[in-house]
Every structure is written in structure tokens, then in C-alpha cells.
Amino acid sequence: MKLLHLKIYLVFIFLGCQFLYSQESYRVVYKITEPKMQGNMESLGEDGKQFFKKAFEYAKDLKYVLTTTQEESFFKLEDVLEKGDETPLEDILLKTAKRFTSFKNRVYIDINKNKIVFEKNLINKNFIVQRKQYIFNWKIKNATKKILGYNAKLATGEYYDEVVNKNKEVTAWFIPSIPIPIGPDIFMGLPGLIAEVEIEGAVVTMIEINSSKTLEIQKVDTSEAISQKDFNELIGGLNKKLNDIIDN
């Protein structure tokens, strides 16, 4: 009888821990640890090389913040920049630095409802888009490494970037011991928090993580959001026009 009571007691403790864990929210800070030039920098003149040397420094100062629970998440560039007042040079360096990741301005994800809402800048106009979550067809590999003391596993994936109309590859390191299927920008769907992603223009790595029970998850206002279908039509038309211009 005592053994039965002990078992019931342990089950309640286990369920209690699960409940508490499921309420956990995290604030995760990422930074660009490796900006990458996708073209040939050797062809640039000295001015260009100096410009990108500075842009690299700016890129490495950029920080992105993810707040997430098991149910939803919000991702954006950190508000505070430490470059002082923005001169025209600082402004264009900052814009160039952001191009290494080409992340969306803001991303809200409702994990269980298969919904993602993001703000994307196209030709200097911000669009808010509400659509289904991206599909990455992740393949989990055997490789592991430590990130901030956590054991992270390697995964590779591929997704369709509708803006540039092509499939892109992504490499991610995720932390199985933090079972939240979220990461920076649109990247998600792995059995653990994504601690690092490598995309075409940069490696972005988690540099700080804090857990809390009181974090508020911001949302992206959907009152002016356009649907995935409308967004695809918009960028389809613009891409066709742009390709016509480039081809001619």
C-alpha cells in the first residue's frame, strides 16, 4: 500500500514538473558571429573593401531577440544600438549589415495554429504577411557541439524563399534539452530550440538565454496583414518585372 502511495506521489511530482516546464518562457539573444560575402570581394576597389570591413563590424554588433514559450514566439532586431547618432554613413552601414541575414523585421509565430505573421521590407515599403509556417524538411545529423554550455545537435534543411523565388539551404544547431521548436527569424520545426543557424549570408548564434515565467510575447498587428496568396501575387509580379529588366 505504501508503495502504491509512493508511485502516485511520484506521478504527481512528474506531472507537476511537466506543467511547470510547459509554462517556461525564454528570452534568447542571437548575434551574427560570421557575416559572409556571397560574391567576389576581390573585384571591389579599395573604397568597397573598406566599406565592407566596417559593415562586418556593424554586422557583428547586431543583436536579435527571441521571446518564446511552448505556444508562441516573437523575434526582432534588438532596439538598442551602440553606434551613437546615425550619420548617413552609419545609417547605410547599418542597412548593409542587416542585409547579411536578410531577416524579416519582426516575426510572430503561433506554434500550434500553424501560423506565422511577419513584417518584411520590400523596395523600402513594409508589408505584414500572415501565412502558414515555412516547411524545412529537416534532416537531423549525428554531429553535436556545445553552445553556451548546452549540447546542440546538427540538422540541415531546405525551404522555399518566395521573395527571391528559389530554394535555400539552412544548417541549424538545436538544443534537445529545451524542447521548444523555435529559432531565429522564420526558422523552426526542430525538436529543440535552435541555437545557431547558418544561412547564405551569415552564421547567427545564440549568445544569451534566460528563462522566466513572466515574459510577455509580443504580437505583430494583423489588421493590415495580407495573405500568403496576395503576397505571392505581389512578389510574383514584381519578380517578373525585375527579371524582365535584368534580362533586357
Partner 1 sequence: MKKVFILFVLFFLSTFSVPAGNHVKEGFQDTCFSVAREWVISQEGGINLDNVGHLLELTEYLQTTGICD
Binding site for partner 1 (CB under 8 A): 37-41, 43-44, 47-48, 51-52, 55, 88-89, 91-92, 95-96, 99-100, 102, 121-125, 161, 163-164, 200-201, 226, 230, 234-235, 237-239, 241-242, 245-246, 248
Distance in Å, CB of 88 to partner 1, minimum:
6
Phi, psi of 219 (to 5 degrees): -120, 165
- Give Cα 91 to chain centroid, integer Å: 23
Q: Where are the beta strands (DSSP E) in the chain?
A: 25-35, 63-68, 72-77, 106-110, 115-122, 125-131, 139-147, 150-161, 166-175, 193-199, 202-212, 226-227
- CB-wise, 165 or 211, nearer to partner 1? 165
Distance in Å, CB of 19 to partner 1, minimum:
43
Distance in Å, CB of 39 to partner 1, minimum:
4
Distance in Å, CB of 72 to partner 1, minimum:
26
Distance in Å, CB of 59 to partner 1, minimum:
10
- The three three-digit cell numbers of residue 157, written as one number: 534543411
In terms of Cβ atoms closer than 10 Å to its own Cβ (0-12, 13-18, 19+), residue 116 is buried
Distance in Å, CB of 239 to partner 1, minimum:
5
Give the three-state DSSP class for 196. strand
Contact 225, 129 (CB under 8 A): yes
- CB-wise, 16 or 48, nearer to partner 1? 48
- CB-wise, 22 or 243, nearer to partner 1? 243
- CB-wise, 18 or 126, nearer to partner 1? 126
Nearest 10 degrees: Cα torsion 186, 190, 196, 198: -70
- CB-wise, 183 or 201, nearer to partner 1? 201
How many degrees, rounded to 5, is the angle at CA 202 between CA 114 and CA 210?
60
- CB-wise, 33 or 70, nearer to partner 1? 33
